């Protein structure tokens, strides 16, 4: 389980007022997907198989139409490709692409760059979690800087409210 999965789990379990959330997992549910399903949340598994699968696009579009999805937030590159294309079947849905990190080495692929230019108009917003990720999206994926918004990774520091301060730990008798 990584940071993205944890974020998606929090978003599923705590949607903003007036929103209803569901999750589509590609290939496998994972630990959090299984737990969320067990807890009664709408978690859908769509296995892709080998290579690019147009059936996956149609299944995502079907899910969006059936569940009246207004906004599809796609975390990472591959879900973005499928989600943006699904918008062709579900035109009123807005698509958000959020990139959390990059693989190393991060090498440009001309076919991917060409494909990105086709799905970028189907994308309402592109977000990156850091300036480094935003630069990689520009350099490697050819996504214009003006299209990328940086939303920094955050930590809910209230989790640490009950801990003693460093000063209290250093000076308290043991």
pTM beyond cutoff 0.75: yes
* Domain-wise residue ranges, the chain: 69-154
Per-residue pLDDT of the chain (174 residues; tens, 9 = 90+): 678 888 888 888 988 899 889 999 999 998 888 999 999 999 999 999 888 999 999 999 999 999 999 999 999 999 999 999 999 998 899 999 999 988 878 888 899 999 999 999 999 999 999 999 999 999 999 999 999 999 987 777 787 788 777 776 676 665
Mode of pairing for the β-strands spanning 148-150 and 94-99 = unpaired
Distance between CA 49 and CA 47 in Å, rounded?
A: 6
Give the domain 69-154 fold. Answer: Rossmann fold (3.40.50)
Distance between CA 12 and CA 120 in Å, rounded?
A: 26
């Amino acid at each position: 389980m990584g940071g993205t999965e944890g974020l998606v789990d929090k978003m599923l379990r705590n949607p903003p007022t007036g929103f209803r959330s569901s999750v589509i997992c590609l290939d496998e549910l994972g630990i959090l997907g299984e737990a969320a399903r067990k807890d009664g949340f709408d978690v859908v598994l769509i296995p892709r198989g080998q290579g690019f699968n147009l059936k996956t696009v149609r299944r995502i579009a079907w899910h969006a139409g059936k569940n009246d999805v207004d906004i599809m937030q796609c975390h990472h590159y591959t879900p973005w490709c499928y989600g943006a294309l699904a918008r062709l079947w579900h035109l009123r849905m807005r698509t958000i692409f959020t990139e959390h990190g990059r693989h190393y080495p991060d090498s440009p692929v001309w076919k991917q760059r060409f494909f990105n230019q086709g799905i970028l108009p189907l994308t309402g917003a592109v977000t990156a979690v850091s300036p480094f990720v935003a630069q990689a999206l520009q350099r490697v994926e050819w996504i214009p800087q003006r299209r990328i918004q940086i939303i920094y990774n955050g930590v809910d520091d209230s989790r640490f409210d009950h801990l003693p301060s460093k000063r209290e730990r250093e000076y308290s008798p043991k």
